[in-house]
Amino acid sequence: MFKELNPLLHSELRLAIISLLISVESADFVYIKEQTKATAGNLSVQIDKLQKAGYINVQKGFNGKMPRTTCSITENGINAFEEYISALKSYLGDKLR
């Protein structure tokens, strides 16, 4: 039977953010924005949703006088991503094995 897909990760932009963060120690807002080609406003909203779910940590600080936001994936985020991939595989059956 098909596993339920996590609705939080089933959004294209949120999945892109998590996919990016799973492969790096951390990434700053500008880098994530460039990689996802998202608008700053939409990216901010989606990062906030992922943070509230406990999937990412967000650190705000300064680089000199410039504000800097850095994101990193949490253990919960890694687990959610792995479960999401497992659920996707249940839809594809033996095609990926």
24-57 per-position pLDDT tens digit: 999 999 999 999 999 999 999 999 999 999 999 9
- pTM across the whole model: 0.91
Question: 14-88: what fold?
Answer: Arc Repressor Mutant, subunit A (1.10.10)
> Cα–Cα distances in Å, from 87 out to 21, 78, 81, 84?
20, 14, 10, 5
Residue type, 24: V
The average confidence (pLDDT) of the chain is 94
Residue 83 contacts residue 75 (beta carbons within 8 Å)? no
